[in-house]
Amino acid sequence: MTLPPPPDALEACVVVPARDEEALVGACIAALAAQRDVERDAVEVILVLDRCTDATATRAREAALAGGVRLHVVDAPADGVGHARRHGMDLACARLFAAGRPHGLIATTDADSEPDPDWLRMQLDAVAAGARAIGGRVELGAAERAALPPAVVARRGAEARARLARVRADAPAGVPAEHHQFSGASLALTAATYAAIGGLEPREALEDEGLERLLRRHGVAVHRLGAVRVTTSGRLGGRARRGLAVDLRRSWWQAERTYAAAAFPLERLLAAKRATVSVVLPTRDVADTIGGVLDALAPLRRAGLIDEILVVDAASRDGTAALAAGRGVRVADESSLLPAYGPALGKGDAMWRGVAATTGEVVAFLDTDTEDFTPAFVLGLLGPLLCEPAVAFVKGAFRRPLRVGDVVVPDGGGRVTELVARPYLNLHVPELAPFVQPLAGEVAARRELLESLPFPVGYGVEIALLIDALRAVGLEGLAQVDLGTRQNRHQPLRDLTAMALAVLAAAERRVHGEAAVAAAAPGPLLVPEDGELRLRSVVVDERPPLRALTPAASAPRDRPAAARRA
């Protein structure tokens, strides 16, 4: 595709990537046609079609004709908004050079955004004053803003202020930092600068973040100007706006699905309770703490909040089972449940068998190695499930003070969380980033969901349930409850290696498929020790969804119940 030669007067090329935006692109082009104080011949718009299947091009041409702005429509060379924007900016750069204007402006916005009337003038003036890269301000349209819950608006405001503080701290002297943004919806740079940095990196999306890194490497400062402004329709779940959409969803979730245990006093839960509740306690040598946990649960059971308690014991040798039985609680040896599956292979296996051996419509799991257990742990976990029908899965969150000698470090602890789970989730499942303790054993969920999920037999169970629950019911079906402060047993670093491997194997299976862990199965961990390789076994097997224990998925539902009685 060949474009006509650029006009001599060309000062600015505006690049607009578009993916099926027939409803909005007209307003975008009209806004570009209505730019004030710039010569008509000085501006042209390059619309880059990213696999459009609708009338985007037609709508854009109509708007360009009506508004009197020069428009070129080209196809993107590869899938994704990043490739589309890069292609357009490459073309714009070549045209500005061909017109003899290396300091001309390559500006870009999105097809669902409308630039203010002074958008180009302000940026041309900034370039005349020495700016080489400009970040404009991106605001949500009034309708979109009104649709957001007030708490989300407030949170976004707070996040914006925090980012602005960082941007200001980083900005060199004399470079304006009037807001925190630098996004594809409004960014611009001179043709010479674009050529100097070697163009945009070929990325599929989030190409604007890539660009900022690239500029920083080349010592180009981004001028963030408040008066350079576009209005965007940041729809929740919007199309190519992955970054903003995930950001908005997370913000909504933090506002709507994060609770404090104090919000759920016993009376409130008893009034709201419509489902039966089972509490499953996997135990292994916790004679020191199990008594306290059971004593805290007893009043909740008497009050009718908890219908069933089951201790699933891993053949403890310290009398844990006898202690629990002595308090009148049902205790089962983990391997005696679903015996067809052989001896239980770990904590996840115990939880899976615990679900099979109980009947409550809501099931809560609690770690039993907690010294400072309070009834609020259970009240908090059950609260969202009993009070909000749209929630299917609740994860406990707490602060874990880590004792180092006599010093208590406030937010330490959870080394596998901080060094494995959190970075992994941020990389691959960013929607789960707001979970404070993704590996916490304090979990409650609806039975219907739990019976449809596979359970890794070992320490991979927590991250697996979290990722699978997200996939099964969406972020809006997940909740997090702040349970306060707690202390768990801390394990030696060497033991954590095996735990981390189990967590990684379970997560990899979900994110990158079975093949990603095939090499690890059945999970030997090789550790160099004293000059030789020692093998430690890590079992990464998974138990099938309890619902799938029937031979065919269509078989009558009474099978799992029969298995439960076994």
Residues 286, 327: contact at Cβ < 8 Å?
no
Place of tokens 């993916």: 19
Q: How far apart are CA 177 and CA 322, in angstroms?
A: 66
User: Could you tell me if 462 and 441 are in contact, meaning their C-beta atoms sit under 8 angstroms apart?
Assistant: yes
Site string for other proteins, 186-205 (x = CB under 8 A): ------------------x-
Question: Mask: binding to other proteins, 244-273, rule CB under 8 A, as x and -?
Answer: ------------------------------
Q: By CB under 8 A, tell whether 552 contacts other proteins.
A: yes
Round to whole Å and give the CA distance between 173 and 176: 8
DSSP helix/strand/coil, 303: coil
- Who's near 526: CB < 8 A, 6+ residues apart? 533, 534, 535, 536
- The footprint of other proteins on residues 441-480 (CB under 8 A) is 445-449, 452-454, 468-469, 471-474, 477
The DSSP 8-state label assigned to residue 549 in this structure reads G
How many Å apart are CA 49 and CA 63, to the nearest integer? 16
Contact 375, 297 (CB under 8 A): yes
Closest distance of CB 206 from other proteins, Å: 12
Which residue among 102, 117, 210, 238 contacts other proteins (CB under 8 A)?
238
Four-point Cα dihedral 241, 244, 249, 255, nearest 10: -160
User: Closest CB to other proteins among 267 and 558?
Assistant: 558
Contact between residue 226 and residue 122 where contact means Cβ atoms under 8 Å apart = no
Of residues 284 and 446, the one with the C-beta less far from other proteins: 446
Chain residues 509-528 in contact with other proteins, contact rule CB under 8 A: 513-515
Q: Which two tokens stand for residue 494?
A: 């060497």
Stretch touching other proteins by CB under 8 A, among 8-16, 231-239, 427-435, 485-493: 231-239
Q: Does residue 545 bind other proteins (CB under 8 A)?
A: yes
Distances from the Cα of 380 to the Cα of 297, 306, 374, 444, 485, angstroms: 13, 13, 10, 10, 13
Q: How far is the CB of 473 from other proteins (least distance, A)?
A: 4
Question: What burial class does residue 135 get, using C-beta atoms within 10 Å of its C-beta: 0-12 exposed, 13-18 middle, 19+ buried?
Answer: buried
In the complex, what is the shortest distance from the CB of residue 184 to other proteins, in angstroms, rounded to a whole number?
A: 15
How many positions of this chain bind other proteins (CB under 8 A)?
42
Smaller CB separation from other proteins, 14 or 473 = 473
Which of residues 1, 53, 146, 406 is near other proteins by CB under 8 A? 53
Sign of CA dihedral 399, 402, 408, 411: negative
The residue among 255 and 516 lying less far from other proteins, judged by its C-beta, is 516
Closest contact distance (angstroms) between CB of 231 and other proteins is: 19
By C-beta, is 67 or 141 nearer to other proteins?
Answer: 141
Indicate the length of the chain as a whole number: 566
Binding mask 382-421 for other proteins (x = CB under 8 A): -------xxxx-----------------------------
Q: Which tokens in the block code for residue 324?
A: 């629990």
Considering beta carbons, is residue 158 or 555 the nearer one to other proteins?
Answer: 555
Q: Which amino acid is at 406?
A: D
Task: Give least dist CB 233 to other proteins, A.
Answer: 12
Minimum distance of other proteins from residue 307's CB (angstroms): 17
Is omega for the bond preceding 522 within 30 degrees of 0, making it cis?
A: yes
Residue from 61, 156, 203, 239 that binds other proteins (CB under 8 A)?
Answer: 239
Q: Which residues bind other proteins (CB under 8 A)?
A: 19, 23, 53-54, 80, 204, 237-240, 242, 389-392, 445-449, 452-454, 468-469, 471-474, 477, 513-515, 545, 547, 549-555
